């Protein structure tokens, strides 16, 4: 990670934490490129597990629209049996195309990157 980006990120986090109205820290698409391969792998697995849990919860109770979108992507990606390496490659390609986009969370970043794999999700 470049020192200037790290310092800028730290400054943003400090300002956001001090703001009474700050409720989120955003995930920048370019951060994916600065993350090590093992952490990328674990991060993707964590997102996919989270979507799986949402899918299980959706069977028992109604979910908000944002969560429903994650469940649709979970079914699409799982149903098409993409390999983990193919999904990681997709995330990296997406991040290279849009390094300055900000997302509410890592899960939102992954969802946006996978939308082309699953039109209508």
- How much is the average pLDDT of 59-87? 92
The pLDDT value given to residue 20: 42
- How much is the average pLDDT of 37-54? 96
Judged against a pLDDT cut of 50, whether residue 18 lies above it is answered with no
Query: What count of other Cβ atoms lies within 10 Å of the Cβ of residue 86?
Result: 13
Domain residues of the chain, as ranges? Answer: 27-114
| Distances, alpha carbon 41 to alpha carbons 62, 87, 91, 93, 108, in Å | 30, 10, 11, 15, 16
Judged against a pLDDT cut of 90, whether residue 47 lies above it is answered with yes
Q: Map tokens 């908000």 to a residue.
A: 64
pTM of structure:
0.77
Q: Residues 2, 82: contact at Cβ < 8 Å?
A: no
Average of per-residue pLDDT values in the chain: 84
């Amino acid at each position: 990670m470049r020192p200037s980006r790290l310092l800028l990120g730290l400054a943003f986090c400090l300002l956001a934490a001090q703001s009474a109205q700050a409720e989120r820290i955003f995930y920048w698409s370019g951060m994916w490129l600065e993350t090590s391969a093992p952490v990328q792998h674990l991060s993707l697995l964590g997102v996919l597990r989270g979507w799986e849990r949402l899918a299980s919860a959706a069977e028992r109770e109604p979910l908000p629209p944002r969560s429903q979108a994650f469940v649709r992507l979970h079914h699409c990606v799982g149903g098409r049996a993409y390999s983990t390496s193919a999904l990681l490659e997709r995330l990296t390609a997406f991040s290279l195309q849009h390094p300055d986009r900000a997302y509410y969370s890592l899960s939102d970043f992954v969802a946006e990157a996978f939308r082309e794999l699953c039109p209508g999700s």
